[in-house]
Amino acid sequence: MTDALDDAAGAGEGQTHGGAPLVAIVGRPNVGKSTLFNRLVGSRQAIVEDHPGVTRDRLYGVGRWVGQSFLVVDTGGIDPSLETGLPAHIQAQVEVAIEEADLILLVVDVLDGLTAVDLDIGEHLRRAGKPVLVVANKADSDARQRAAAAAWELGAGPVFAISAEHGRGVAELCDEIVARVGVDEVADPVPPGTRIAFIGRPNAGKSTLINTLLGSARVIVDDTPGTTRDAVYLPFRYRDEDLVLIDTAGLRRRKQVSRAQEKLAAIKSIRAMERTEVVVLVVDASAGVTDQDQRIARMAFTRGKGVVVLLHKWDLVASDKRRAQDVRAQAEEALAFLERPLMVRSSVLGEGRDQGQGRGRGLSEVLDACLRTARALSRRITTAELNEELARAVAEHAPPAHRGQLVKLYFATQADRTPPFIVVSANRGRCLDVAYERYLVRRFRKRWDLRGVPVRLVVRGRGRGEGEVDAGR
């Protein structure tokens, strides 16, 4: 591990919210916390399903009401009786949210009435000493609203009877929230910086890897595939640059996705991909690059994202030199369409047992590769440099004739970046065959180190002009 990563470790602990007031939503499973979160932030950020345990990691958003704002965090369901396994990891995430919070919304279910778990959570919050509002959810009728009065038994704070799904009573709750913690404006909880999404199949080690980079158990790690559900955005500073590391749900093949929550998690992973600059394709080295890995990589590449390939869990193959060589060769061949992406081998010590807080190999290298790919993605190439390389390319290999006519390439210019978009002017439009366009793109890639970056090239017809590159000489 390099000094740069050691210095950065801890920079991403917790969720940075710049001192903005934070409202944490807590409660036992399946009481409607995520529905309330979506209602407060005004969008379907959290996955909602009539099934306990859907939310696992902490999910942040901004609530706004009558000109006031507050930061809100959704948490997984608490069950104090379960002290091991995935529920214990969820409870640890909730504890962090409670510690960070300025105000806590304790959500209970009017239909179920108060349970022993509700009473335990209420007692825990009283000991924590944080201000609490008790939200009696699913009170979508007058009778249920009257039944919500039983929630005063918790003694944790004032009770608000609401229906998060239908919006009943939510206005009064929001009035109380902004009266206690509202401010004029809260910044987007996703901070600025180069966004790097870690994407791959379930159980490839994405969450463990991110926890190791951050130096803390920020996202839940468990041996069960599909542990991560929501895309989690995590600020991180590395080599004096602001990054946002994005943990995503594993993407299965479509026919293997059965539950609605898995489908929603997959949609959120794809949306996270669309909002990022660099995608780290996390491949389980012991399995090699699969058809699904290829589909994920192609999806990112066609969306204009830079791609870094991470052969993770490398310790499982490193001891067998021949196997290690075969794994790398297979990955290079299977992902050849990415045009020589930067490929890093990594492993994390203690994977799956200690929430990823160990130190492994290749972790600084993957961040360096991401920064290098991000720079290539947004590279601005001057017209003079492009024309110089175009002239050399034409001199070494002239373009073939088009429908029996001589093809002349006049000049090239970069019309856009992120990803690079190059326009070549010729004596007639679309006069280059695919092979010659590929030849030009590879020349440009090599000259400006555009590895793993999609380069768009289009040929447009126009009259011969100044500074032309004459391919017919």
Mean pLDDT of the chain: 78
Given a cut of 80, whether residue 393 has pLDDT beyond it is yes
383-461: CATH topology is: GMP Synthetase; Chain A, domain 3 (3.30.300)
Q: How many CB atoms lie within 10 A of CB 131?
A: 14
Least confident of 216-230, 276-290, 383-397, 446-460: 216-230
Give the residue with greater pLDDT, 403 vs 335: 335
Q: 434-443, pLDDT tens digit by residue? A: 999 999 999 9
Q: Residue 366 class from Cβ within 10 Å (0-12 exposed, 13-18 middle, 19+ buried)? A: buried
Given a cut of 50, whether residue 47 has pLDDT beyond it is no
Nearest to 8 by CA among 367, 348, 352: 367
Query: What is residue 298's DSSP assignment?
Result: H
Q: 215-232, pLDDT tens digit by residue? A: 755 443 334 444 344 567
Give the residue with greater pLDDT, 305 vs 429: 305
Give the residue with greater pLDDT, 251 vs 347: 347
Task: State the pLDDT confidence band at 50, using cuts at 50, 70 and 90.
Answer: very low
| CATH 3.40.50.300 domain span(s) along the chain | 18-181, 194-377
DSSP character string of 77-117: PP-TT--SHHHHHHHHHHHHHHHH-SEEEEEEETTT---HH
Structure tokens at 306: 């830079």
Contacts of 207 (CB under 8 A, 6+ apart): 219, 220, 221, 227, 228, 247, 356
| CATH 3.30.300.20 domain span(s) along the chain | 383-461
Q: What H or E segment, with its residue span, contains residue 69?
A: strand 68-74
Please determine, looking at this structure, whether the domain spanning 18-181 carries the CATH number 3.40.50.300: yes
Nearest to 216 by CA among 245, 178, 175, 242: 245
Residue 231: per-residue pLDDT = 60
Give the residue with greater pLDDT, 279 vs 30: 279
Given a cut of 50, whether residue 102 has pLDDT beyond it is yes
Q: 185-209, pLDDT tens digit by residue? A: 665 556 678 999 888 887 777 777 8
Residue 107: per-residue pLDDT = 93
Sign of CA dihedral 264, 268, 269, 273: positive
Residue 44: per-residue pLDDT = 53
Query: What is residue 61's DSSP assignment?
Result: E
- CATH code of the domain made up of 194-377: 3.40.50.300
Task: State the pLDDT confidence band at 371, using cuts at 50, 70 and 90.
Answer: very high
The pTM (predicted TM-score) of the whole model is 0.61
